[in-house]
Amino acid sequence: MMALLQRVRHARVEVAGKVVGEIGVGLLVLLCAERGDSELQSDKLLAKILKLRIFSDAAGKMNHSLQNLDGLGQTGGLLVVSQFTLAADASGGNRPSFTAAAAPEDGRWLYDYFVAQARLLHPLVQTGEFAADMQVTLVNDGPVTIPLRVAPTDGPPR
């Protein structure tokens, strides 16, 4: 399972001109399930995202995670958007292959699972719409963009 994190000042997702998800300060998570992924990879990836220290402290150092922004008087949002194109393989030519991405029904199940777990662990979770044509608007803070991947062989979360 993989994600591309973007630390944002604000972000929103629209489908057919309607806002379906929106956050202020927080993380935009572009999420991709790969073939062979399970709840174990989802749980491990979510734990890493919530604890990753990529928000600045008073000295400008990345010392705060999304979860400990609460202690600073703000609740950072989590905007989760499905994006199977993260699994693209363009090594064989000019048209990317997406065979590493989970089948649509598996991808939807893992996306829904990830979002449900995120809502259990974090107070502010918004989403896009799985398999929809979405327009994502964001102001990347920093900019800070971090790719994360948890392979099927990485085992259970710690």
Catalytically active residues, by annotation: 83-85
How far is CA 27 from its chain centroid?
A: 7
Round to whole Å and give the CA distance between 68 and 49: 12
31 near 49, Cβ under 8 Å? Answer: no
- Residue 63 and residue 29: Cα distance in Å, rounded? 19
Work out whether the CA dihedral 147, 27, 56, 139 comes out positive or negative. Answer: positive
> Which residue type is seen at 24?
G
CB atoms within 10 A of CB 9: 13
